[in-house]
Structure 1
Amino acid sequence: MERIAWVTDSTGTLDEELSLNEHVYVVPMVVIIDGKEYEDGVDLLPEELYRRMSEEKITATTSQPSVGRFQELYKELEKRYDRIIAVHLSSELSGTVSASRQAAQMVTIPVDVFDTLLISFPMLLILKKLMHYIDNGDSINEAFVKTRMYADNHETYVLIGSLDQLHRSGRLTNAQYILGSLLSFKPIISIENGLLHTKSKPRNLKKAEKQIFTDFRRSVEAGKVKECTILYGAVSEQAQRWKKMISEEFPQVLTHVSPLGSAIGVHTGEQTIGISWFNED
């Protein structure tokens, strides 16, 4: 059996299962604050980022890991493994997939790169799905085809916590920011084909939550949802409240709760919360 190393990026926060897997490796995203580069999850944790965003009103940006960073890891892994499978956030939102693929051309070990077209913990659920198929005897191509079908049937809705931060990071135009601030809307962002889209602009948190849970309830009642993920910035209590609501109404659905990493928090702010699920036949 091939010895496979699994590589991903820090936009997904590893759960206990993946953290304990010695064959999983994380390449950190880069967060840039006042011209200084920090590695997400290494020398900058979300808590510190949110503190500085709140107290210092910093302007932060992000960058994908360099090709050299991937190459360095892949060269080290080829000493101990027969193959590398890299699973990354959407290529429509970051150059990480491209950097990983470029590095793959610079090493002798086979490297297969899977573009999830997702972010954060849902990206890691895709990694787990690939692991499952390959562990159960599927070829790399078979596993990729099955997992692509699974990944393409997701729904992800994120309630943006800070228009200020989205504006400062350059993801919101001046006109959008001014209009949003005047109307006090709470934009719900969806991920479709790897891109961010504004699904709707409810006027308050209560209406936004109701809309998100209406969409989730529709999928669950259709019998398509086996598990979901609640994603959050620094609002862990709200995330747990959402989990309780889901567990009480839909006890058959496995609910994960996962924090968003610094590289995502830069753009969305600490009050961000969302939910993601896969519609399975």
Structure 2
Amino acid sequence: MKKIAFVTDSTAYLTDEQAKRFDISVVPLSVIFPDAAYREGVDLSNAAFYEKLHKSSSLPSTSQPPVGEFVSVFERLLVDHDVVMCLLLSSNLSGTLRSAETAASMVKGDVVIVDSKIASYGIAGPLLDGIEMARQGATTEQIQAYWEERREQMHARFLVDTLEYLHKGGRIGGAAAIVGALLQIKPILTVIDGKIELHEKVRTHKRALDKILADFDEHASQGRPIRLGVIHAERLDDAEKVYEQLTSKYSNVYAELCELGPVVGAHTGPGLLALVWYEGDEALLKAQFNR
């Protein structure tokens, strides 16, 4: 059996406990304010980032990890692992994957790189599933196939307080042309083929949230195992309410609360609330959630 090392980037928003417990190497992206660049999860906490964001007179930018950062991680891991498996931020949102691919071509050893075509829990959930699969004896080919299958089955719905951050950061994909028309409404956004797109236009926040919950109910009510991330940016109270509502309603839902960090938060702004979910493997989920 091959000894597998797992790598992701900081936009998976794993907790420190998860990264340590499962021995995951996390390569940080950076957020850049006028005063300095900060490595996500290393130089700047989530709370400090949002405080700076509120006070900043200009919107921050972000940057992918340098190739050398990935080279260092890969070389270190390949000393005592047979293969390195990486699940990374959508290549349509960042050059992170390209940096990793370049680094992989520069090291001696087996490095498998998979584009998640999403961010946040869309990376974290399948990554943690893959680690459990490896623990149970799965091959690298089986884990890669699982990641690619879940990528195509991923569902994302999210609300933002304003489209200003996504528009100015160039991350809103095909919805950019109608930004002006959307300024007075609450758009529900999604991720399609790794790009942020408009899902639906709704007039109020309550209606938008109700629509997101209805979309989720459509899948969860079928009874199949669902892995769910309830994600927020400075909306912990709302996220906790949604989490409690859905986990108490559905015994087949395996959910986690997640906070959005600096790099993705720089493009969405504060006030985001999102659901990211996919149909999971019941045995894998029960093993991870101790059910």
Q: TM-score, normalised by structure 1?
A: 0.91
Indicate the larger mover: 166-175 or 149-158. Answer: 166-175
Change (3 A) 1:3 1:23: farther
Equivalent residues in 2 for 1:70-219 (5 A)?
Answer: 70-171=70-171, 176-181=178-183, 184-219=184-219
Change (3 A) 1:35 1:98: farther
Amino acid at match of 1:160: V
- CA deviation digits over 1:71-103, x for unaligned, max 9? 122222223322211111111211111111110
Q: Distance in 1 between matches of 2:176 and 2:275?
A: 28
Question: Deviation above 6 Å: which 4+ runs of structure 1?
Answer: none
Which residue is equivalent to 2:53?
53
Which residue is equivalent to 1:223?
223
Q: CA deviation at 1:19?
A: 2.7
Q: Does structure 1 retain, via aligned residues, the 8 Å contact 2:93–2:171? A: no
Q: Distance in 1 between matches of 2:37 and 2:125?
A: 29
Q: CA deviation at 1:159?
A: 0.7
Q: Distance in 2 between matches of 1:104 and 1:35?
A: 33
Give the number of aligned pairs.
279
Q: CA deviation at 1:226?
A: 2.5
Which residue is equivalent to 1:277?
277
Q: Distance in 2 between matches of 1:175 and 1:146?
A: 35
RMSD (CA atoms): 2.1
Q: Distance in 1 between matches of 2:138 and 2:22?
A: 22
Q: TM-score, normalised by structure 2?
A: 0.88
Which residue is equivalent to 2:68?
68
Change (3 A) 1:43 1:277: same
Indicate the larger mover: 108-117 or 55-64. Answer: 55-64
Indicate the larger mover: 83-92 or 164-173. Answer: 164-173
Amino acid at match of 2:105: Q
Q: CA deviation at 1:127?
A: 1.0
| Secondary structure of 1:114's aligned partner | strand
Q: Distance in 2 between matches of 1:247 and 1:280?
A: 15
Q: Does structure 2 retain, via aligned residues, the 8 Å contact 1:153–1:280? A: no
Q: Does structure 1 retain, via aligned residues, the 8 Å contact 2:121–2:276? A: no
- CA deviation digits over 1:170-221, x for unaligned, max 9? 446987444333xx21111111222211001211100100110110111111
Q: 2:36 matched to 1:39?
A: no
Segments of structure 2 that go 5 or more residues without pairing to the other structure are 282-291
- CA deviation digits over 1:9-33, x for unaligned, max 9? 0001214662333631100011111
Q: Distance in 2 between matches of 1:40 and 1:15?
A: 12
Q: 2:249 matched to 1:244?
A: no
Q: Quick one: percent identity of the two aligned structures? A: 27
Q: Distance in 2 between matches of 1:219 and 1:138?
A: 28
Segments of structure 1 that go 5 or more residues without pairing to the other structure are none
- CA deviation digits over 1:131-154, x for unaligned, max 9? 233333332112212332123112
Higher relative contact order (CA 8 A, sep 6+): 1
| Secondary structure of 1:85's aligned partner | strand
Q: Distance in 2 between matches of 1:219 and 1:256?
A: 17
